[in-house]
Amino acid sequence: MSPLVAGLLQVGILVAALAVVYRPLGDHMARVFQNKGHSKVELAIYRFARIDPNAEQKWSTYAYGVLGFSFVSVVFLYVIQRAQSWLPFDFGRGNVAPGMAFNTAISFVTNTNWQSYVPEAVMGHAVQMIGLTVQNFVSAAVGLAVAVALIRGFVRHQTDRLGNFWVDLTRGTIRILLPIAFVFALVLIAFGVTMSLKSGVDVDGQTIANAPVAGQEAIKELGTNGGGVLNANSAHPFENPGEWTNLIQIFLILVIPVALTRTFGRLVGQHKQGYVLLSVMGVIWAAMLAVIWGAEAGGLRPLEGKELRLGIPGSAIFADSTTGTSTGATNSLHDSYSGLGGGGTLLNMLFGEMTPGGVGTGLYSILVMAIIAMFLAGLMVGRTPEYLGKKLGRKEVTAAAVSILAMPTVLLIGAGIAAILPSTQGALNNPGAHGLSEILYAYASASNNNGSAFAGITVTNDWFQSSLGLCMLFGRFIPIIAVLALAGSLAAQKKVPVTSGTLPTTGPLFATLLTGSIVLVAALTFVPALALGPIAEALQ
């Protein structure tokens, strides 16, 4: 089979599988967050946490919930890494160094899953399970909860209540993520992914590290987390043994962000509102796939940093999907991609990860961008913009702008300082423009909570550990607070009736406007930086 046909066939299978589950999963997720009843397990958890699940929260309390939960998660994850040598299954790997533990704790709590450590040498199975696996679930559930709160902001009117964060968090975890992850963990094992409590396995006299991979692998992709159980991530044969596991993993990465557009349409009472967002996500995803795949197929040494069994198309589809969401799992080394191909993966993150974006984060990011797009359209026709029956006034547009601008601000400041620090020179793995790309990619990945890397860069010194840690924090929580404030202010409003002057947000005009805004914001912000890195490399 020619690589072109093979690649198109894989894309076809992927799209077909997503289409099959789109409605049932999207509708299921809508019901999960609408339903009034609680299951027994959930009630037990609420009782243990002393939470009244029927009490609804204001946006500020909801936000304090997100921040408080994330804060204790960071502390807990830091402590168990620092105490690893007293936990079982540590295989003498010892306590994780303070800087690395700090960075990793933030990384997994913010759904970034950036890894400054080599798992096989640093992380034992206990920390992987009770620390990292747990955050793989709950950080994704936090994203879902924030997205749902924003939808409620649009749907509700004249109220200061957005729902209960603890209920949304628990339901997202137990009713959506956990059952799907469990089933797919077993499917992955059936296709050859490992699940061992031993530290390694002897293969013809050679020891290869092993781990309880499958359980974490399933939620790693499903929760758009991306932190590898093993160093080579989804390139490792134990994490991703073949062509079918590769497709399953890409499917898991995309399935929730894609189906959430259906959830959104259902909750706002008009499916078309969701389809139009999906079409924008799909168009940019497909366009970026063409760029990355095309660049790699025509690269100088396309097989460097790629697994032969996964092939160039299988690597490109994965790379496009992992950077278009906030996943950051990799099945090939983006650092070894061509200038254009690697630049494509970088640009994908710089779009703000809404094509289709991470679990929950993708939906709220594109909704924020929709507000920006409607604001721009409002400026053009000189009319107060509206979206989904809500007026977009000063408060709403300010919140949207803060949410959008947080990422570029921390990214460019961080990368700018890193580029002039003398110590950075020794951290790079490649000279010239590609070296700058390694820095840019690191800060783009951290600030967008992606987690993939141009992995040649050595990020274990104190500057990188702390600055990238802060980028992850700000890149995660500034947008979340802004989005929840936005949701609160939308929910307080009255519904405005649709009139002949209302710009419809279900047609091609809106889709074009939204696509244009996504591309324009990224282009205006990042072209100078990109010109010095990947663009310079691609033109050489």
Partner 1 sequence: MENFLKQSWAGLRILLALTVLLGVLYPLSVWGVSRLPGLHANAEATDTALVAVVREGDKYFVPRPSAATLPASGGSNKGELNEDYTKVIAERRAQIAQREGVSEDQVPQDAVTASASGLDPHISPEYAALQVPRVARASGLSVEKVRELVASNTHGTFTTTVNVTALNRAIDSASS
Residues of this chain, 229-248, that bind partner 1 according to CB under 8 A: 230-232, 235-238, 241, 243-244
Task: Evaluate whether 400 touches 487 at the Cβ level (below 8 Å).
Answer: no
CB-nearer residue toward partner 1: 22 or 69: 69
Q: Which of 88, 92, 422, 431 binds partner 1 (CB under 8 A)?
A: 431
The radius of gyration of the chain from alpha carbons, rounded to an integer in Å, stands at 22
CB of 244 to partner 1, least distance (A): 8
Of the candidates 34, 39, 207, 425, which one interacts with partner 1 according to CB under 8 A? 207
Binds partner 1 by CB under 8 A, chosen from 124, 153, 226, 311: 311
Give residues 273-302 in contact with partner 1 (rule: CB under 8 A).
299-302
Coil, strand or helix at 387: strand
Nearer to partner 1, 310 or 471 (CB): 310
Residue 511 to residue 275: CA distance in whole angstroms: 10
Three-state SS sequence of 319-381: HHHHHHCCCCCCCECHHHCCHHHHHHHHHHHHCCCCCCCCCCHHHHHHHHHHHHHHHHHHHHH
Rule CB under 8 A: which of 19-58 touch partner 1?
Answer: 41, 44-45, 48-51
- DSSP assignment string, 137-202: HHHHHHHHHHHHHHHHHHH--S-S----HHHHHHHIIIIIIHHHHHHHHHHHHHTT----SSSEEE
Give the three-state DSSP class for 70.
helix
3-class SS of residue 474:
helix
Near partner 1 by CB under 8 A, which window of 15-23, 82-90, 431-439, 524-532?
A: 431-439
List C-alpha distances in Å: 219 to 182, 249, 263, 360. Answer: 8, 10, 20, 15
Q: What one-character-per-residue DSSP string does 420-451 give?
A: H-HHHHTT-SS-HHHHHHHHHHHHHHHHTT--
Find the shortest distance in angstroms from Cβ 533 to partner 1: 11
Is 70 or 355 the residue whose CB approaches partner 1 more closely?
70
Token digits for 204?
A: 């013809």
In angstroms, what is the minimal distance from the CB of 469 to partner 1?
A: 19
CB of 333 to partner 1, least distance (A): 5
Residue 513's SS3 state is helix
271-279, 404-412, 423-431, 484-492 -> range binding partner 1 (CB under 8 A):
423-431
For partner 1, how many residues bind (rule: CB under 8 A)? 116
Between 294 and 305, CB nearer to partner 1: 305
- Residue from 95, 159, 398, 429 touching partner 1 (CB under 8 A): that is 429
Candidate ranges 151-159, 199-207, 264-272, 403-411; the one touching partner 1 (CB under 8 A): 199-207
Per CB under 8 A, the list member of 15, 56, 192, 398 interacting with partner 1 is 192
Three-state DSSP class for residue 298: coil
Binding mask 381-420 for partner 1 (x = CB under 8 A): ----------------------------------------
Query: How far is residue 375's CA from residue 387's CA, in Å, rounded to a whole number?
Result: 9
Identify residues 77-116 at the interface with partner 1 (CB under 8 A): none
DSSP letter at 113?
-
In the complex, the smallest distance separating the C-beta of residue 477 from partner 1, rounded to whole angstroms, is 13
Given a contact cutoff of 8 angstroms between Cβ atoms, the answer to whether 111 and 219 are in contact is: no
For the chain, give the number of residues: 540
For partner 1, give the closer residue by CB, 273 or 330: 330
Amino acid identity for residue 528 in this structure: P
Q: How far is the CB of 277 from partner 1 (least distance, A)?
A: 30
**Measured from the CB of residue 229, what is the shortest distance to partner 1 in angstroms?**
11
Return the residue of 19, 197, 520, 531 that touches partner 1, per CB under 8 A. Answer: 197
Interacting positions 471-530 with partner 1 (CB under 8 A)? none
In the complex with partner 1, the residue whose CB is nearer, 201 or 498, is: 201
SS3 state at 209: strand
133 near partner 1 (CB under 8 A): yes
- Measured on CA atoms in the order 212, 215, 218, 223, is the torsion positive or negative? negative
Residue 534: CB minimum distance to partner 1, A: 10
The Cα–Cα gap between 218 and 425 comes to 37
